[in-house]
Amino acid sequence: MPLQVGLTHYLFISAILFALGIFGVATRRNAIMVLMGIELILNSANINFIAFSRYGALNLDGQVIAIFVIILAASEAVIALAIVLNIYKMMNTVNIDEVDKLKE
Amino acid sequence: MSQETLLLFSTIILFLPLFGFVVQSFFGRRLPRQGDWFETSLLFLGLILSLVVLYSKLSLYPEKTLEFSFRWVDFKSVPGIGPLQIDLGIMLDNLAATMLVVVTVVSAFVHLFSIGYMAGDIRYSRYFGFLGLFSFSMLGIVLTNNFFTMYVSWELVGLSSYLLIGHWYEKKSAADAGKKAFIVNRIGDIGFFTGIMILFAMYHTFNFEKVFGAIGAGNIPFGSEKWLTAAGLLVFVGAVGKSAQFPLHVWLPDAMEGPTPVSALIHAATMVAAGVYLVARTYAMMTADALLVIAYIGVITAIIGGTIAITQTDIKRALAYSTISQLGYMMLGLGVGAYSAGMFHLMTHAWFKAGLFLGSGSVIHAMHHALHHAGDHDTDPQDIRNMGGLRKRMPITFWTFLIFTLAISGVPFTSGFLSKDEILAGTLAFGSLSGHYLLPILAYLVAGLTAFYMFRLVILTFLGEHVDPHRLENVHESGKVMTIPLLVLAILSVFIFYSFNPFGASSGWYFHYVERPASAVPLAQQAASLETFEEALHQVHLPALLLSLLVAGLGILIAFTTYYWKKINADAVAERLAPVYRFLQRKWYFDELYHAAVVRLTIGVSRVLRWFDDRVIDGLVNGAAFLTKISSFTSGRFDNVVIDGMVNLVAYITGFFGLVLRKVQTGKVQTYIVFVILGVMVFFFIFRSM
């Protein structure tokens, strides 16, 4: 029986992507890497939306939301990178463990 | 002169001395001569005005009672009474008009006399201020038309009397005498106040006329004549205190600690007569029973005062007891129904007794200077045993003093004879009407005693030889300000001013204008009517006259044989009658009796109360304090251990958890994310299994 690509496969890929994203967010010390993890999480969500749009009852709504998420991710990345850039300017580091001024 | 003008004049007379008092109080010390001229001239102005008032009243409105009232308070509704209005005001009848003159004359001349007598005193201006306050209060008593202002003025004369007795308050005896006068008077005032309250509770008015009118209309207190008698007697109790009647007479002799002019004004002529005046004012409501009590109290007072006066050696004290005795006469006169005679005696007595006191003041003044000159500070300048022979050095004082003495002894051609004779005749008439013959017997006895002790004073003071001839040279007649009042009062003690008939005043103007008011009490309780009384009086008139001449002559004769010709040895008599003599000299032991019965009792009661306070009340307080201490100690412990323990436990537990949980709070966002994810997973599994 030829491998039929179905919903499960998409969800599986999405889950792996999500787990990788979480892993990146939770373990990376570099702020850039954390941001990249977030991007992975958002994209895994996009895959889910698209998959449900294709196989589920979501129809075109899923695709519209995915486009929304992409736009959101872009704007989020812009702001977040600006913040990171400023942090680097002020503290000469992008290591989030060292950015702990509020703790003091 | 219209009625309004007369009332206006009376009001001005009333407030002149008060104005003087206010000015003296605030500016007295800054005025030239400390303001003595100011106060004195105000009083003389009042004197002139009151003469005008008396003349106009008697000539224009002899039968009318002029009254002026104003609404003082207006209660819309009082529980149990309904609407209640209290009116105050003044009233001017013939009696008040004559009293007005009596008070202003004595007061004005005492002011004049004081300028000489009090010269150099440390509280000179204050003294005159208080004299003004007294004159105002006394005029208030005279002019009032209601019980309310009567009581207020009554208390005010008590206050000014207290202030003036204690004028030299550095002297303990003077301060004590002031207190004694005030406290004894207060006892009488309680009675007066209660009497007023009975009347007010019944009639809801203070006005004399309205009260008497209500009684006359048959509306007697609580429907019982006994209550009416009680109200009358309670009012009389006030008079007993103020007029030094038995048994409240003990304050008057001690009041002689005050300056002598004060004794003349307050404790001889005016204030002590206020009680007599009060009885006269309320005469219409006095029942026969009340009048009988008044008569007996009067005669007892007269005999007590007269007998004690015989043994006194202090000139002022002897005069004080004589005053008590004469006040007894006035009360006796009122009590037996000889209303006009009693009030007439009040007036004549005011002149000659004020004169006697001022005369004694002149003597004391002179003695004081002579002793001071000799550097002698141990001899008492008031003791008649240290005097004698002053006649040659002080002729004016002697002659005026002699005239006053003749007047008080009841020698014909003097005012005293006229008034006293009428009272004695009145007692005799009353005796013949009611059978109370003890009253005239005692009254005549007192008349003899009066003549005796007064001439004893005159002889020992002015006649014979002075104890120390050297000292006599330094005794000088007093100055004009002191002799003029004496002369004026002496002139007023002559019969011609009161009656053209030297042997009877009943045809004189006083008896014509001041008549016994109609009684308002129920007929069964009325004393003998004026007509009956006058008829009885007429029958006893001649024997009464002869008898009074006889006793007066006898008294004078004994005085001369004893003290002038020395045919009778007074000391030997005193020796023979030692117990009687001591009894009289110790003033019937009244002071001792009151000391034992009242003062000691009061102190005893205070001791018991103090013990009660110390033991019971303090014990209770201390016990309460002890219990409070115990309970607060316990609750303190409870707070410390249990409450604080609980609070601390909570804090400890919180702290423990904090200690444990702070480890979770790393401050690393990534850790939190892990927790969040773990949490989501936990929820996921929980909800999935449901």
Q: What is the ipTM of this complex?
A: 0.80
CB atoms within 10 A of CB B653: 10
Residue of B nearest to A104 (CA): B667
Residues 610-669 of B with CB under 8 A from A: 667-669
CB contact under 8 A, A26 and B668: no
Residue of A nearest to B677 (CA): A22
Q: Residue B354, CB half-sphere, CA atoms under 13 Å: how many?
A: 39
Instruction: Give the mean pLDDT of chain B.
Output: 86
Which phi and psi (to 5°) does residue B86 adopt?
-115, 120
pLDDT of residue B1: 74
pLDDT tens column, B33-63 = 787 888 888 989 999 999 999 888 888 888 8
Per-residue pLDDT band for B136 (boundaries 50, 70, 90) equals: very high
DSSP single-letter state for residue B138: H
| Whether A98 contacts A91, CB under 8 Å | yes
Residue of B nearest to A25 (CA): B670
Distance CA(B426)–CA(B414), nearest Å, equals 19
Distance CA(B493)–CA(B486), nearest Å, equals 11
Per-residue pLDDT band for B648 (boundaries 50, 70, 90) equals: very high
Of A25, A97, A102, which is closest to B673 when you measure between CB atoms? A25
| Whether B10 contacts B53, CB under 8 Å | yes
Q: What dotted CATH number matches A7-91?
A: 1.10.287.3510
Residue of A nearest to B670 (CA): A26
- Domain layout of chain A by residue ranges: 7-91
CB contact under 8 A, A22 and B668: no
Tell me the mean pLDDT in the region B227-254: 88
Which phi and psi (to 5°) does residue B206 adopt?
-100, -15
pLDDT tens column, A57-68 = 888 888 999 999
| Whether B235 contacts B196, CB under 8 Å | yes
B670–A contact, CB cutoff 8 A: yes
Burial per residue of B108-133, b for 16 or more beta-carbon CB atoms within 10 angstroms, e otherwise: bbbbbbbbbbbeebebbbbbbbbbbb
In A, which residues are within 8 Å of B673 by CB distance? 22, 25-26
Closest CA to B588 of B402, B376, B335, B321: B321
| pLDDT above 70 (res A104) | no
Q: What are the CA-CA distances from residue B280 to residues A25, B106, B142, B143, B216 (Å)? A: 121, 20, 11, 13, 17
pLDDT tens column, B653-668 = 999 999 998 888 777 7
Mutate to test the interface with A, among B666, B672, B673 (most CBs of A within 10 A): B673
pLDDT tens column, B468-486 = 777 777 777 888 888 888 8
CB contact under 8 A, A96 and B667: no
Mutate to test the interface with A, among B665, B669, B681, B684 (most CBs of A within 10 A): B669
Q: Which residues contact B634 (CB under 8 A, 6 or more apart)?
A: none
Per-residue pLDDT band for A70 (boundaries 50, 70, 90) equals: very high
pLDDT tens column, B177-218 = 888 889 889 989 999 999 999 888 888 888 888 888 888 887
In B, which residues are within 8 Å of A34 by CB distance? 670
CB contact under 8 A, B677 and A26: yes
Residues 17-76 of A with CB under 8 A from B: 22, 25-27, 34
Of A26, A102, A103, which is closest to B670 when you measure between CB atoms? A26
- The dihedral built from the CA positions of residue B480, B481, B486 and B489, taken in this order, carries a sign that is positive
Residue of A nearest to B675 (CA): A26
pLDDT of residue B385: 80
Per-residue pLDDT band for B623 (boundaries 50, 70, 90) equals: very high
pLDDT of residue A4: 80
Per-residue pLDDT band for B314 (boundaries 50, 70, 90) equals: confident
